[in-house]
Amino acid sequence: MTTAVYPGSFDPMTNGHLDIMLRSMRIFDRVIVAVLNNIDKRCMFTVEERLAMIKKVVGNYDNIEVKSFEGLLVDFLKVEGADVIVKGLRGVADFDYEIQMAHTNKKLSQDIDTVLLMTEPCNSYISSSNIKQIVHFEGDISGLVPDELLEEIYAKERKNRGI
C-alpha cells in the first residue's frame, strides 16, 4: 500500500490544490493532505480553519485524510508510514523550487521520493497569494477556489478588516 503526503500551506485551498488532491487519490492508495502549521508565517487562516476548509471539500472521500504538521516534512512522513511526497507543478518557476525541495528531502531521507504532478492548464495560474490579493480588493474569486469555500473566504476578509 502506497501512502502519499501532499503538503502545503493551503492558505486558502484553491482549485489547483483540489485538482492535485483528486488526481493523487487516483494514483495512490492513501493520501494525506498535510497542512503546515507555520508558526513564523502570517497566514490569513489559522491551521484549524485551513484543516476544516479542506475537510469540507474532500472529507467525504475514503482514501484521503487531512492533518496538520510542524517541523520537517520527512519526519511527518515517517510517523505516518508514508514514502511519497506529492507536489503540484504549475510551470517552470515552480520547478526550480520543487527540485531543490525534492533533493533536500531526499538527502534527509533516502526512502522518500517526490512525485510532481502537472496541474491542469486551467489551474496553472492560480495561487493562494493571488486569491488573497483579489479578495482584499473585493474582486471575484469564483472558479479559483472550491465553491463551498467562497463565502468563508470573503467573510474572513471582512472580519480581518473589521467590516
Catalytic residue at 17?
Answer: yes
| Sites of contact with ligand PNS (CB under 6 A) | 7-9, 36, 72-73, 101, 104-105
Q: Is 28 annotated as a binding residue?
A: no
CB of 12 to ligand PNS, least distance (A): 11
> Looking at 24, 128, 132, 156, which residue is catalytic?
128
Q: Which listed residue (17, 50, 132, 156) is catalytic?
A: 17
Q: Is 24 annotated as a binding residue?
A: no
Q: How far apart are CA 124 and CA 101, in angstroms?
A: 20
Q: How many CB atoms lie within 10 A of CB 27?
A: 13
> How many helices (H) does the chain have, and how many strands (E)?
6, 5
3-state secondary structure 45-90: CCHHHHHHHHHHHHCCCCCEEEEEECCCHHHHHHHHCCCEEEEEEC
Looking at the annotation, which residues are catalytic?
17, 41, 90, 128
Which residues are known binding-site members for substrate? 9, 41, 73, 87
Which residues are known binding-site members for ATP? 9-10, 17, 88-90, 98, 123-129
